């Protein structure tokens, strides 16, 4: 798709305005009951600043914007425009206005897509009433971004052309956050995130971005789960680094276990991230890398010795006495239960993602 959707005035001023100014800061808070299986152990706050149509200077729609439901697809597009290097908010606003004008020229009543993300990572309301609908957490505006799918699909347009190159890091980060926010608001699983070409004969959202949609879905799921993972990076010296080294060894990577995050370890991490098809191959271990299979489920009798040693290393660092032996014995089981109880987790002595995330936070 070439240029989609982006406008909307906010009618729920009490909820969204006041703090709007240049845009609304929409926040995903802890709603584990609403997110169900997608939410993991609950959710940290995910703030997504979205600039309203009124703020970026949208023209009124030529006809009233109708609402529709339920949301069953979240469709990713690119605008098929030049990959410029002006990442400013001023450019983002001007770009939104040009998109709306191009859509008026097609006899559309408004911008086609619901949200637009600029190359600088600015998120703009596309179709009018989108912010209003996000506040209600139910219906959404009937857009014009994907023929036959508009009654059930929310469209997110990304500025640029991604047939041969990937989006800038700022755009990708906002795309992950925005998809996580929309999926959480409408209580849908990230598996509904697809590309425009999945429904129509088009290059959109570009070959390179399209190939990254599995990574996008994984990153969105991580953002929604929002487990409190810690982050280890080059230059760090800590038990967390030692645990990461042991987990990398368990995953078949050759790395010394010395607790120091040096250049050799950075290369190993980058190689691991690349093999997993991650968008950011940056040598930094954060939530997406931890949840990529690096932290296997452990329980009494587990034979993944290096992973068990990693867990025992972190249990010891957290003040729970256990021998770093690589054997998941009764003493380790007791230490795991004590740690889980201290973090208000189910004390079942099973080290899954929720327990790993607290150990490594």
Question: pTM to 2 decimals?
Answer: 0.63
Q: Among residues of the chain, what percentage have pLDDT more than 70? A: 86
Q: Which of 62-66, 185-189, 259-263, 346-350 has the lowest mean pLDDT?
A: 185-189
User: Where do the domains of the chain lie, and which CATH numbers do they carry?
Assistant: 50-224 (3.40.80.10), 236-360 (no CATH)
What burial class does residue 78 get, using C-beta atoms within 10 Å of its C-beta: 0-12 exposed, 13-18 middle, 19+ buried? buried
What whole-number distance in Å separates Cα of residue 325 and Cα of residue 309? 6
358: enclosing H helix or E strand:
helix 353-359
pLDDT in tens, 9-23: 222 222 222 223 234
Beta bridge mates, 57: none
SS3 50: strand
What whole-number distance in Å separates Cα of residue 89 and Cα of residue 130? 20
pLDDT in tens, 268-281: 999 999 898 776 68
Q: Which of 76-85, 222-231, 311-320 has the lowest mean pLDDT?
A: 222-231
Write down the pLDDT at residue 279.
65
SS3 72: coil
Q: For residues 120-145, b (16+ Cβ closer than 10 Å) or e, as one string?
A: bbbbbbbbbbbbbbbbeeebbbbbbb
pLDDT in tens, 139-164: 999 999 999 999 999 999 999 999 99
pLDDT in tens, 34-61: 222 233 333 343 558 899 999 999 999 9
Write down the pLDDT at residue 221.
87
Q: What is the mean pLDDT of the chain?
A: 86
Write down the pLDDT at residue 134.
87
Beta bridge mates, 139: none
């Amino acid at each position: 798709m070439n240029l989609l959707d982006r406008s909307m005035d906010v009618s729920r001023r009490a909820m969204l305005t006041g703090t709007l100014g240049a845009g609304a800061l929409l926040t995903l808070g802890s709603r584990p009951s609403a997110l169900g299986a997608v939410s993991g152990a609950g959710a940290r706050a995910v703030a997504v600043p979205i600039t309203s149509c009124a703020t970026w200077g949208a023209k009124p729609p030529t006809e009233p914007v109708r609402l529709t439901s339920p949301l069953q697809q979240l469709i990713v597009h690119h605008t098929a425009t030049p990959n410029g290097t002006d990442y400013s908010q001023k450019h983002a606003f001007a770009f939104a206005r040009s998109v709306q004008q191009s859509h008026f020229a097609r006899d559309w009543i408004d911008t086609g897509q619901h949200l637009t993300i600029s190359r600088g990572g600015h998120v703009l309301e596309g179709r009018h009433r989108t912010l209003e609908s996000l506040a209600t957490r139910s219906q959404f505006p009937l857009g014009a971004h994907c023929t036959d799918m508009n009654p059930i699909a929310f469209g997110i347009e990304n500025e640029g052309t991604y047939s041969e190159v990937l989006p800038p890091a700022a755009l990708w980060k906002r795309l992950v956050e925005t998809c996580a926010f929309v999926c959480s608001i409408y209580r849908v699983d990230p598996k509904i995130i697809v590309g425009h070409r999945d429904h129509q004969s088009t290059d959109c959202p570009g070959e390179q971005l399209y190939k990254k949609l599995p990574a996008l879905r994984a990153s969105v799921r991580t953002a929604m789960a929002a487990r409190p993972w810690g982050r280890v990076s080059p230059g760090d010296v800590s038990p967390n680094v030692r645990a990461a080294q042991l987990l990398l060894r368990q995953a078949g990577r050759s790395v010394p276990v010395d607790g120091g995050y040096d250049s050799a370890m950075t290369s190993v991490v980058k190689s691991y991230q690349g093999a997993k098809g991650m968008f950011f191959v940056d040598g930094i271990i954060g939530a997406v890398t931890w949840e990529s299979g690096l932290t296997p489920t452990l329980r009494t009798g587990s034979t993944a010795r290096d992973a068990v040693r990693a867990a025992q290393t972190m249990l010891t660092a957290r003040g729970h006495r256990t021998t770093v032996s690589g054997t998941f014995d009764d003493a380790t089981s007791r230490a795991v239960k004590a740690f889980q109880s201290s973090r208000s987790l189910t004390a079942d002595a099973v080290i899954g993602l929720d327990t790993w995330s607290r150990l490594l936070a």
